[in-house]
Every structure is written in C-alpha cells, then in structure tokens.
C-alpha cells in the first residue's frame, strides 16, 4: 500500500491543494496547485455554489497532473472564535499491559466526546504528554502500565465553521477524512526539535486576514485574527495609481519590495490603469506604499502577541502568501526584532509560504496516524495503479533523498 494523502485549504483568495506520499519515513510532494477562489470572504463561505466550483477546479488540476481521481481529503476550518482548553483523562486496565495504539485511540475517543458546549464541535486534540506507570512520555506505545493518562489541548470551534466547509466538500463528492486549523498546519511545516522546547508565535499574513497563533513547545494554545492582509496592499496601490486590483496585485508581486531600503528609484514598471493608459511606476515609490501597509500589519500582529501572552516569546515565524514578497524578512526584523524570520518550507516544488498550512496538515495527519499505530492511504488500488509517478518521488532517486521531509519523533 502506498501512503498517499491529499490536503486542501479553502482560502479567501486561493484554493490550495497538495498531494504527498510518505515513503521510507520521508514525505514527498506528488502534486500541488493554487487556483483562484470565489464565494469565500475572510475565510468564510459566502456563496456555496461559487466556492464549490472553485474547489472542483483546483481538484481537477491535481487529478490531471497525477492521472487519478481525488476522493478523500484533509481540510482546514476557520480559526474564528476557536477555543483552546486543557483537559486530562485517564483509562485503567484490570492488569498491567503493554500500551498500544488501540489504547491511545480509546483515550482520545473519550476526550473527543466531552465538548464544552452544544454550540461547538471539537476540531482536534493536541496531546501534550501521556503518563504510563508514573512516567510522562510523548508516545506511550510499548510502555507497561495499569493505566494511561493524557494531558491535551482540546481545540473547539463553532459548529457552523466546521459544517460549512465539510458540507461544501461532501456536496462535490469529496470525503473529509480529517479536519484541522490552518495554524496547526503552519507549525507542522516549520517545526524543529528546537521549537519543541520554546514559546513562540506564527504570523500568517493571508490575503484578507492575518492570523496570529501562539505555541508552547510547538503545541497551539491560542490564536487571534486581524482583518488585514495582502489585499490591503493591493487596495493602496490600486487607489494611488488608479489601476484595477488585479493589476495592483501584479505590481506588488512582480515589482514592489517589502522594504523601500533596497528599491531602485530608477527602476520603472509600465502598468495599465483603469482607462487602459500606461502609467509608469518607480520601484522606490511603490515599495514605500507596500512597506507602510506591511508595517501596520506587523505592528498590529505584535500587539496581538502581547495580548495572547504576557511572557516573552522566543521566536516569531512569518508565513502566508504575502510573506513571499522580496525583502519581507528585513521589515519583519525591523518591526519584530531578531527573533523573527520568514518561514521556509523544506520541500521541493513548494517554496511559496501560502502552502504552509496545506502541507503542514498532511504532516500533522501522519503524526496522528503514527501515534495510534495505524496506516492509511487516500487512494484506492485502481488509482494506485494509474498514478503517474513524479521523477522527484522515485523510491531511490537523488531528489527523494535530498528533498524528502524527515519526521523526527
């Protein structure tokens, strides 16, 4: 059985889809795409038909790349009004026994039945540690004990946040295998052993919103959202140069820099305004416009971090599509200090940070399977035979060895 997983992130600006394969404990990308989304505003579905058509288009692109039918997916739900509660549960056994994946699954099932209110649903459970025979461990499998205890962060969100996404995907013929928050995916895209011992934050600068998430030992504990993102930069450029939003976005992505310090006043971009006339834009001026808005977003994000915790954070990682602008790391350090950096996804073919959530949630799903001692794949035998194997995922290829994503559990 080939271990293949599909993840989808339904954003306000784009639908991101990634298909990966786990082979020899390495995660390799098979296909990824990003298509324009419609019917979604600030992460929430506003038009079911348009949103469904957008998702179908993204799925179709990946299916065409691989020559298979996508039937099962992992997805994310909006983090608006998400709550994070610490919970402890314990199960006892008649006699001492060797703890296995079934015991862990049983304990997690008990936790998952205890919602804080009828208006909310549990999105996921983030284990902090387990206790068996007086010893606290991250993975208790193989330990001998008469009981198993868990400490976990239970993530809950309003029912509508989950049902709107799940029903949308089911209505177009997709089975939702697992759900998570984008912030959990972000951490799993960048997690290292070092981060697992620290307190820090990830700022995801999306198109319409920016999500600020706080982590303790790489476990998501709090999150908040501000209603600003890359679109605000587009609006500013569009207003000043009287261009369409699409043209303003091209200027931002292809020409503007996140920090004016490195811009060249003599570098000129020929843009087209709303009347069809050519307007000449110099790089310094448009970079100054972008920089002003980025500064505002990061200052607000820093205030949110201070509201989420009174403790000093050890790191701040910036991600999201907007963070891919040139020189973004320079301005982030100006505003947030030397502890900040722009995230880098360590996978061939996925260099843009807009994929951090969609890739990270595959990592998260696989880690959950490992904890429970289970195996799973999202394609059937027929599709497995038809699968077009990418050169970068050949079992013993050099690219597989160099770019495989290693799991260090």
Question: Residue 108: what pLDDT?
Answer: 96
| Rounded CA separation 342/202 (Å) | 10
Query: Sorting pLDDT into bands at 50, 70 and 90, what band is 348?
Result: low
Tens of pLDDT, residues 24-43: 888 999 999 999 999 998 88
Q: What is the mean pLDDT of residues 322-342?
A: 95
pLDDT the model gives residue 399: 34
pLDDT of residue 117: 84
> Confidence band (pLDDT; 50, 70, 90) for 384?
confident
Q: Which of 316, 344, 372 finishes a domain?
A: 344
| Banded model confidence at residue 319, pLDDT cuts 50, 70, 90 | very high
Contacts of 381 (CB under 8 A, 6+ apart): none
- For residue 56, count CB atoms less than 10 angstroms from its CB and return exposed for 0-12, middle for 13-18, buried for 19 or more: middle
Instruction: Round to whole Å and give the CA distance between 113 and 124.
Output: 12
- What percent of the chain is modeled with pLDDT above 90? 83
**CATH number (domain holding residue 142):** 3.30.1490.110
Q: Are 155 and 82 in contact (CB under 8 A)?
A: yes
pLDDT score of 81 more than 90: no
C-alpha distances out from residue 96 to 31, 99, 146, 255, Å? 46, 9, 4, 65
Cβ neighbours of residue 281 closer than 8 Å, sequence gap 6 or more: 241, 251, 255, 268, 269, 270, 271
Res 237: pLDDT: 97
Of 320, 330, 351, 227, the closest CA to residue 287 belongs to 330
Final residue of a structural domain among 344, 360, 378: 344
Residue 347's pLDDT band (cuts 50, 70, 90) = confident
Structural domains of the chain, count = 3
% of the chain beyond a pLDDT of 70: 94
For residue 409, the model assigns a pLDDT of: 35
Please indicate, yes or no, whether residues 399 and 334 belong to a single structural domain of this protein: no
pLDDT value at residue 393: 44
Give CA–CA dist 347/350, Å, rounded. 6
The model carries a pTM of 0.91
- pLDDT surpasses 80 at 54: yes
pLDDT (tens digit, 9 = 90+) per residue, 108-167? 999 999 888 888 999 999 999 999 999 999 999 999 999 999 999 999 999 999 999 999
Task: Report, as an integer, the average pLDDT of 198-227.
Answer: 96
Residues 100 and 29 in one domain: no
* Contacts (Cβ under 8 Å, ≥6 apart) of 196: 217, 218
Name all contacts of 295-298 with Cβ < 8 Å and 24+ positions apart.
Answer: 295/331, 295/334, 295/335, 296/228, 297/205, 297/210, 297/226, 297/228, 297/229, 297/232, 298/203, 298/331, 298/332, 298/335, 298/336
pLDDT band at 404 (very low <50, low <70, confident <90, very high): very low
Would residue 362 count as lying in a domain?
yes
Q: Can you give the pLDDT at residue 379?
A: 86
pLDDT band (50, 70, 90) for residue 406: very low
Q: What is the pLDDT of residue 114?
A: 86
Q: Are residues 210 and 295 in the same domain?
A: yes
Averaged over 9-31, what is the pLDDT?
92
Which of these three, 103, 130, 158, is where a domain ends?
158
Integer angstrom CA distances of residue 122 from 78, 196, 211, 333, 337: 13, 24, 20, 36, 35
Give the model confidence (pLDDT) of 241-251 as tens digits: 999 999 999 99
Q: What is the mean pLDDT of residues 180-199?
A: 95
Q: Quick one: 51 and 133 in the same domain? A: no
Range of the domain at 360: 3-71+351-406
Residue 340 in any domain: the answer is yes
| Residue 191 in domain | no
Same-domain pairing of 284 and 227: yes
- Give yes or no for a contact between 187 and 220, defined as CB atoms under 8 angstroms apart: yes
Is 223 found in the same domain as 279? yes
d(CA 377, CA 362): 12
Q: Is 313 inside a domain boundary?
A: yes
Within this chain, do residues 120 and 253 fall inside the same structural domain, yes or no?
Answer: no
């Amino acid at each position: 059985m080939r271990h293949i997983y599909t993840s989808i992130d339904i954003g306000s600006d784009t639908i991101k889809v990634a298909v990966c394969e786990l082979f020899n404990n390495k995660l390799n990308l098979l296909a990824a795409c990003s298509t324009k989304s419609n019917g979604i505003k600030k992460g929430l579905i506003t038009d079911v038909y348009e949103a469904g058509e957008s998702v179908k288009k993204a799925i179709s692109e990946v299916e065409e790349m691989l020559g298979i039918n996508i039937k099962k997916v992992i997805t994310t739900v909006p983090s608006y009004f998400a709550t994070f509660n610490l919970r402890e549960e314990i199960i006892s056994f008649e006699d001492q026994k060797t703890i296995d994946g079934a015991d862990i699954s049983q304990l997690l099932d008990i936790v998952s039945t205890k919602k804080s209110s009828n208006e909310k649903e549990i999105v996921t459970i983030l284990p902090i540690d387990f206790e068996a025979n007086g010893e606290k461990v991250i993975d208790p499998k193989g330990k001998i004990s008469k009981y198993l205890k868990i400490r976990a962060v239970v993530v809950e969100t309003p029912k509508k946040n989950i049902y709107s996404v799940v029903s949308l995907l089911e209505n177009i013929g997709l089975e939702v295998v697992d759900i998570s928050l984008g912030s959990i995916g972000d951490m799993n895209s960048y997690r290292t052993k070092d981060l697992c011992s620290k307190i820090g934050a990830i700022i995801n600068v999306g198109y319409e919103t920016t999500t600020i998430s706080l982590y303790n030992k790489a476990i998501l504990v709090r999150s908040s959202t501000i209603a600003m993102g890359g679109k605000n930069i587009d609006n500013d450029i569009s207003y000043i140069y009287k261009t369409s939003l699409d043209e303003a976005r091209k200027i931002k992505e292809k020409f503007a820099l996140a920090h004016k310090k490195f811009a060249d006043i003599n570098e000129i971009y020929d843009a087209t305004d709303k009347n069809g006339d050519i307007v000449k834009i110099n790089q310094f001026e448009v970079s100054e416009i972008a920089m002003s808005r980025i500064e505002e977003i990061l200052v607000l994000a820093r205030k949110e971090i201070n509201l989420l915790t009174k403790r000093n954070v050890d790191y701040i990682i910036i991600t999201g599509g907007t963070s891919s602008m040139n020189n973004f790391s320079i301005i982030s350090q100006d505003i947030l200090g030397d502890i900040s950096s722009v995230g880098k996804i360590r996978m061939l073919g996925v260099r843009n940070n807009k994929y951090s959530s969609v890739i990270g949630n595959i990592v998260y799903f696989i880690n959950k399977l490992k904890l429970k001692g289970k195996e799973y794949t999202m394609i059937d035998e027929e599709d497995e035979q038809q699968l077009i194997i990418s050169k970068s995922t050949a079992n013993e290829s050099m690219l597989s060895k160099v770019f495989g994503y290693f799991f260090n559990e």
